[in-house]
Structure 1
Amino acid sequence: MSSSAFCSHCIELNELPGKPTGHETEVVGVSSYVAKGSKRGTIVIATDIFGLGIPNPMIIADNYAKESGFTTIVPDLFKKDPISPSDFQLKKHTNDSDPKPAEENFANFGKWLERGHGVEDTYPTFKKVVEAQAKEGPVAVIGYCYGGKLSSFAAQDAIVKGAVINHPAMLEKGEASKIKTPILLITSETDPIFSEDVKNDWTDTLNKAGLLDSNSQTYSGAVHGHACRPDLTKPDIKHAYEDSFKNSVTFFNRVLA
């Protein structure tokens, strides 16, 4: 996988406040975090590279279950081997020197992918959970960064009623023509991973197909990762995080109705 699947914002943790209130269990043999909802229908989250190694996806799942009413599941895509924050070093202040060179960070990322964590390895696990839930009722998915690619795969396979894709990694030009379900595409103004060229191709293609949700947008002042690991001390990013969450809830209520 090329370095275009990885940038400095990919490894800035920015852990969300709060504690998870759901529970961990097995879903069709896949270790998963589950936040129970009250409605018929399920949201399945495809995480970024930190997986369930940080509380953010669990807190986000709790929030979706509470605000949308749909049970929300976060499969452990990486089988208890997510990227470790200790593998990476970022400067804590603008004027600090990086304790590790960027090349070492990229090398560590590559080694992790080689441990069976490429999208071709994790999508079958994700798909298994989605298809099992689809037997019980309507399902939608939401992916962040790395997980955006898995959301795209699910929308191409038409195993979901709709997909939310947040500041994605690894999406390609021409890929959007394979999409078969509605898409809410949420992007950041600063995102070296999702180029303007590819983004324009996606939005144009989905618009022509009538599959691009009207709330799809690029958030001014936001950076890659704003929807799952936001720096809430920055007003633009806080707004992007909160507004993209609200629009995702609206989307889920529509496609899962």
Structure 2
Amino acid sequence: MTKLSVNINKIATLRNSRGSDVPNLVQFAKDVQRYGGQGITIHPRPDERHIRYKDAFDLKPEVYTEYNIEGNPIESFIDLVLKVKPTQVTLVPDSVDAITSNAGWDTIKHKDFLVDVIKEFQKNDIRTSIFVDPVLDQIEGAKETGTDRIELYTEAFAHQYSLGNKEAIIPYIACAELSNSLGMGINAGHDLSLENIKFFKNEIPHLLEVSIGHALVAESLYLGIENVINMYLHRLK
């Protein structure tokens, strides 16, 4: 079964909007796991506009499933991850002012940088994953970095699927097959939703984990968080 990791950034955004501790981020993470979620993902950014660096430490003792910290490996992020020691770190090439992630790594251009960062995390027993576009030479480049996994950036698929273009899955299938043949695990995330997750999961071979936040939280406003998590789990079987 493909694991569901719930990105809780939007819960932090809601909390921060009132300057209080409601909703409580740690309690929400505990509830997600109690409802069947198989991982917690956070994506702290330098301006801490949603997840704060302190949140990463507060969550560590409460996340008994997989703990995934995403972000651009600037110095402060690297230091945070090495101190918290999550299950997995996902490296994302965000610009400082990015509203959300909008591109994968150029694994060829940034190979040397990624090699050094990945070695440091692996030396500390932290599984590594890098955010990549569904392009075959970028998958080959990812292999050269030494990463344990890739995370396929799925925004293009989600957009095309919403327009009825199911052929948008084709490059993702090819990249998943190549990644598996090269010995890298396969994660995926960005704009996956209840609408498209079953099709994506059924088509992508060897899919280990999906990270879903914005859509899952939005869907929960109407359907309830426990119900939505179980709907995802059912689709991911």
TM > 0.5: no
Structure richer in helix, relative to its length:
2
Using structure 1 for the length normalisation, give the TM-score: 0.38
Using structure 2 for the length normalisation, give the TM-score: 0.40
